[in-house]
Amino acid sequence: MRKPVRKAVFPVGGMGTRFLPATKAMPKEMLPVVDKPLIQYAVEEAQAAGIEQLIFVTGRGKSAIEDHFDHSFELSHLLGSRGKEEMLNSITSWVPGPGRVSYTRQQEPLGLGHAVWCARDLVGDEPFAVLLADDLILSRTPCLKQMTNAYAETGGVMIATMDVPKEHVSRYGIMKVKRDDGRLAEVSGMVEKPSPDKAPSTLAAIGRYILHPEVFDHLEKVERGAGGEIQLTDALARMISTHPFHGFRFEGERFDCGDKVGFLQANVAFALAREDMRGEVADFVRNLSNTL
Ligand code: UTP
């Protein structure tokens, strides 16, 4: 029987240079969309997909993330004593139970592939998910849950994917596709950040992966690739002929919250999706667009 996906890796060791100066002393993953840090959206998405063990690959200056996923006794006591049950629930309901979260440190930000490799001993010999918190997805069913459902049929390697404009392919890992049923694309090649004239398609990898543990052997061997970083894409490309390998077109809208405009768009979209703020925010956006 296929092993279930029980563990998720959250690489949060990046420098977030596209978001300076906000990220000078604060982790990018703690930037809030409406009222919740990006990393909490990612953790809740993993929890909704049945993930039991959360593995953070952190770096220097990221300790706010560890504090966020711990209990805050003073705050809990204060809210409890004031009878603020709803608020109390909003800071405790998603905190992982004892022993359910582990941290390891990527001493140097050598790239996403290197960050994932740092988690090898914590993952061990089982399939696992990787979630990039700066890719925020607004959907009816959480994206990773959609993927674990599909993975139950396919196994192997699965990467969330979406079509991007041709002029944007150089920002993504791009897939070469063998067969495509509109939801699952069978992948026959992958290239990291190609120029538009060299891209094999416009189908891009988005920050949700289900990976086979063999990827660690390949990560150990790959050389630095695009941007001088150890690229996850390069290690994955070596597994295409030996494992079922799919791009998964998820239902939902993805926002690149590592980018300032993407982050602003996410805030508007997530606020409009919230019943308690939709009316006011919609009025504001409507009035604003009338003045443009
Ligand atoms: P990005 O490509 O967005 O890089 O990483 P970055 O350093 O975070 O941000 P910019 O480009 O300088 O603005 C994608 C994901 O991979 C993680 C990041 O934390 C982010 O979740 N990452 C990246 C690492 O964990 N370690 C790295 O060495 C690089």
The rounded Å distance from CA 124 to ligand 1 centre is 23
pLDDT digits (tens, 9 = 90+) for 48-93: 999 999 999 999 888 899 999 999 999 999 999 999 999 999 999 9
Domain encompassing residue 33: 7-258
110 in contact with ligand 1, CB cutoff 6 A: yes
115 CB under 6 A from ligand 1? yes
Complete DSSP assignment for 86-146: HHHHHHHTTSPPTTSEEEEE-SS---HHHHHHTTHHHH-SS-EEEE-TTEEEE-SS-HHHH
First to last CA, the chain: 58
CATH number, domain with residue 183: 3.90.550.10
Percent helix, strand and coil across the chain, each rounded to 5? Answer: 40, 25, 40
Global pTM reads: 0.95
Domain assignment present for 277: no
Check residue 24 and report its DSSP letter: S
Res 225: pLDDT: 77
Q: To the nearest whole number, what is the mean pLDDT of the chain? A: 95
pLDDT digits (tens, 9 = 90+) for 216-245: 999 999 888 777 889 999 999 999 999 999
Domain count for the chain: 1
Q: Assess if residue 214 is contained within a domain.
A: yes
* Residue 270 falls inside a structural domain: no
Compute the C-alpha angle 144/150/156, nearest 5°.
95
Asked, for residue 162, whether it belongs to a domain, the answer is yes
Does the Cβ of 134 fall within 6 Å of ligand 1?
A: yes
C-alpha 96 to ligand 1 mean position (Å): 24
Is any atom of ligand 1 closer than 6 Å to the C-beta of 16?
yes
Would residue 278 count as lying in a domain? no
Establish if 281 belongs to a structural domain.
Answer: no
